[in-house]
Structure 1
Amino acid sequence: MKKYLKIGITGAAILASGILCAFVLFKMRVIIELLKGITGILKPFLYGAVIAYLLAPLCNKIEEKLFQTFPKANRKAKRFICFIAIVISLCVALAIVWMVIMLIIPQVWDSVMKIIDMVPQKITILNNWIEHMLENQPELQAYFEEFANQAESHINSLLNVDTIQKVQSIINSLSVQVFGVLGVLKNISLGFLISAYLLGSRKLFGAQAGLILHGVFPDKWARIIEEEIRYTDKMFNGFLVGKIIDSAIIGLLCFAGLSFMGFEAPAFIGVIIGITNIIPFFGPFIGAIPCGLLLLLENPMHCLYFIIFIFVLQQLDGNVIGPKILGNTTGVSSFWVLFSILLFGGMWGVVGMVIGVPLFAVIYDIIRKLVYRGLRKHKRESMITDYEEKYHKS
């Protein structure tokens, strides 16, 4: 009787799983829209969780130092010390954000105004240069003139659209952008507020998670999951915090170098290079291309010097600064680093490019442990030893 009952339960579970999978496949678009709506509502909590996670190491360090300074603090004093550590951590984060904004906005404005002033002159110079190059090429000159006439007529047709429609479209576009910026600022502000609560309750949440884990899973699996969660935390925290510190150093070195060479907008370019350097592998190129184009409009030789300087700076980062700060944090080869950036960057954009490497390192570690467990189960320990000695011997 028990045998048939188990078979019946198994069959019902398989049937229910099949129905659920079919429902998910047929309603995938609705489910995705629902998830997007929920994610939009919970954005402040997501921002707060990210901010709290990044500030947790700093908060822990400040707490540790304060507890060492006041070893005989009672329970109320310890709570006050935790509060002070949270306030200091948030103040440091806000000060960094404020400094970056104050560096970027004035220089962005100056750069945009210079570009607006420069563009007509540069276009005239470019036209004269092209005409000079095509003096002895009548066919190419005719083709270029036809292209220029078409472009001019297209621009004129755009400019001749009804003025009311143009003004209305511009206002609509600006309003959308303004509301978008205000929405982001609102989410970030709420995120900082939520991060304060998360930092204050991080130990409580950790204890509650431990209770749930041991209450749901057997002790063996609970310990395995705990170990993997600690590894994941170590991987993400070490990589992200180390990369932020590394990128801040690169941004400062870029600012110092460009200021010494007398380039335009050194603070703006330094901030862009530092921020994009957080993205592994592709970050330096993503930041260098727009900055190089900005310098090209001002002075082509400055653009050439900038490219050489960025190449030297990235070599210094890749061979000296980065290894000193990050070490071999992920334990993943260069091929898998490139693979993870392309894969998760294609799935989640810039966020995927930033978190792709540590996320892939965690997946890689789980697969490695499962494979090693299977080899030990089948009495193949010698294969593990040979592999480690041949490919991972330090």
Structure 2
Amino acid sequence: MAMPEDSCELDEKLEEKQRRKKLQGYIFSACIVLVFYFLLKNTRSVSMAIDHVVTVIQPILMGFVMAFLMNPIMGFFEKRLRKLFENVCKNKNMAAKVNRTVCSIIALVILAGVIIFIFATVIPNLVSTVMYLADHIEEQIAAVLDWCNVVTKGNYEDALMKAKDNNIGDLLEQGLKLVQKYINYDEQDLMSTITTSVLTVGKIIVNIVVGMFVSVYVLMSKETFKGQAKKLACGIFRPSYANIILEISRRSGDIFYGFIIGKIIDSIIIGIICYIGCWFMSMPYPVLVSVIVGVTNIVPVFGPYIGAVPTVAIIFLTEPRKGIYFLIFILILQQIDGNLIGPKILGDSTGISSFWVVFAVVVGAGFFGVWGMIIAVPIVAIIYYIVGQSARYMVGKRSLPLDTSEYITMDHIDIIENKLIPFSENHEEEKKARRRGIKHTK
């Protein structure tokens, strides 16, 4: 006789539990809407607060970025020096710590050397090129106009010569006046600007030095940090949710690591190929041009075109014919990179289509500039992965197919049999029949 009462109590508890879950879902959704509204309403204040926080923790962020780039270098040396330190140190734990410390420092030295080499190569060449073009710009433009006259076989000689004789000097003079109009400092403003610039540079140098120490400490304790994060996730969330968070974290790390490191390797290869091509074709400024092409290639989709504009302009002003050859060479090189080299190195590290790559680059550039263009693609790939897994989980709970391709030709869900019904040739007739059936049942 007690069994029906127990089952009723159990049903009531289940219903109460479901009501609580729904209420919690509504409260959570309302909180998200309120937070989103607050962020939109106070965009400027939130942006200023974020900028302040980023400024304060800038050395820490630099350290994490350095550690991220140093990690594969450290891992490479750590595997090869492990036996050496195990033979020297009898204690395995001590050998592992010494090996990690030495390899972290080696990775830091290599990373710093690469960055210094890039700056030491690009900045002097860039300054000398700009100074030379500034001093000889009128001659350079005149030479380009002469070349255009030769190419067009004198068909536009009058217009070109008129531009050469009159317009070049006028344009330069107007440009100088425009610069003087917007750069009109008195001595006090100039000293203030110089002082601010020196302090800013000094602060950046200090942040970089602090970031170097942080990067070594992060690499030495990276396993501890991972363990602490996993422990915290397991303590806060239920096991099922903790497993989901850990899986998303692993996938996010793979996406970020695969894309950023792969893109850097791809850009280095493109820079080297560009240098070899420039050297073979006797292009002017081969080192400067190759470094610019390689560095800008890190930016997805638009990077090759960003790098092509200044490099083609520099070469074209120096030697117009070679500027056209270089433009053709860059277009061919970027096609090879986009269809052969890039896919081989990056593989399917992001798992998103070309549309989402372009979307990520545009949105990232709009919010965070150049850095946004670089990191937006893996971030969108992570969000895409999370949304995709959520969709799989939700349709799985409803016993519907998990494969996306089965939904492409879907028309509706059969409510009785709980299956997807595809489009058919007599689609309109079926819809009318269904409507008639609904009216009839009513």
Give how far 1:303 is off.
0.9
Corresponding residue of 2:53? 38
Q: 1:80 aligns with which of 98, 102, 118?
A: 98
- 2-side partners of 1:192 and 1:123: how far apart? 46
- 2-side partners of 1:170 and 1:152: how far apart? 25
Q: Is the 8 A contact 2:64 2:218 kept in 1?
A: yes
Equivalences for residues 213-228 of structure 1 within 5 A: 213-228=233-248
SS at the partner of 1:101?
Answer: helix
Unaligned 5+ runs, structure 1: 389-394
Corresponding residue of 1:104? 122
Corresponding residue of 2:426? none
Q: What letter corresponds to residue 392 of structure 2 in structure 1?
A: Y
Q: What letter corresponds to residue 300 of structure 1 in structure 2?
A: P
Q: 1:343 aligns with which of 339, 347, 363?
A: 363
Q: Is the 8 A contact 1:279 1:353 kept in 2?
A: yes
Corresponding residue of 1:48? 63
- 1-side partners of 2:24 and 2:347: how far apart? 52
- 2-side partners of 1:8 and 1:358: how far apart? 34
Residue by residue, what CA displacement relative to the aligned partner does 1:181-225 show, whole Å, maximum 9, x if unpaired?
333333222212211111111111111111111110011111110
Give how far 1:387 is off.
6.0
Residue by residue, what CA displacement relative to the aligned partner does 1:137-160 show, whole Å, maximum 9, x if unpaired?
999x99999998986886686799
Q: 2:320 aligns with which of 300, 313, 320?
A: 300
Corresponding residue of 2:286? 266
Pairing 1:90–2:105 present: no
Bigger CA radius of gyration: 2
- 2-side partners of 1:65 and 1:210: how far apart? 29
Q: What letter corresponds to residue 35 of structure 1 in structure 2?
A: I
Q: Is the 8 A contact 1:54 1:237 kept in 2?
A: no
Corresponding residue of 1:392? none
Q: Identity of paired residues, percent?
A: 31
Pairing 1:63–2:83 present: no
Equivalences for residues 109-128 of structure 1 within 5 A: 109-123=127-141
Give how far 1:106 is off.
2.6
Q: What letter corresponds to residue 275 of structure 2 in structure 1?
A: F
- 2-side partners of 1:112 and 1:259: how far apart? 21
TM-score w.r.t. length of structure 2: 0.74
SS at the partner of 2:300?
Answer: coil
Corresponding residue of 2:437? none
Corresponding residue of 2:213? 193
Q: Is the 8 A contact 2:259 2:350 kept in 1?
A: yes
Q: What letter corresponds to residue 311 of structure 1 in structure 2?
A: L
Pairing 1:360–2:375 present: no
SS at the partner of 1:254?
Answer: helix
Q: What letter corresponds to residue 71 of structure 2 in structure 1?
A: A
Q: Is the 8 A contact 1:54 1:241 kept in 2?
A: yes
CA distance 1:337–1:83, change in 2 (3 Å)? same
- 2-side partners of 1:251 and 1:11: how far apart? 53
Q: What letter corresponds to residue 257 of structure 2 in structure 1?
A: N
Larger mean CA deviation between 96-105 and 37-46 belongs to 96-105
Give how far 1:103 is off.
1.4
TM-score w.r.t. length of structure 1: 0.82
CA distance 1:353–1:18, change in 2 (3 Å)? closer
SS at the partner of 2:211?
Answer: helix
Larger mean CA deviation between 181-190 and 77-86 belongs to 181-190
Unaligned 5+ runs, structure 2: 1-16, 150-154, 409-442
Q: Is the 8 A contact 2:101 2:216 kept in 1?
A: no
- 2-side partners of 1:79 and 1:7: how far apart? 51
Q: Is the 8 A contact 1:242 1:325 kept in 2?
A: yes
- 1-side partners of 2:47 and 2:71: how far apart? 32
Corresponding residue of 1:230? 250
Residue by residue, what CA displacement relative to the aligned partner does 1:214-255 show, whole Å, maximum 9, x if unpaired?
110011111110011000000000111111011001111111
Q: 2:308 aligns with which of 288, 296, 302?
A: 288
SS at the partner of 1:309?
Answer: helix
- 2-side partners of 1:206 and 1:365: how far apart? 22
- 2-side partners of 1:312 and 1:258: how far apart? 13
CA distance 1:196–1:373, change in 2 (3 Å)? same
Residue by residue, what CA displacement relative to the aligned partner does 1:276-299 show, whole Å, maximum 9, x if unpaired?
001111111001101111112111
Q: 1:329 aligns with which of 336, 349, 352?
A: 349
Q: What letter corresponds to residue 75 of structure 1 in structure 2?
A: N
Aligned-residue CA RMSD (Å): 4.2
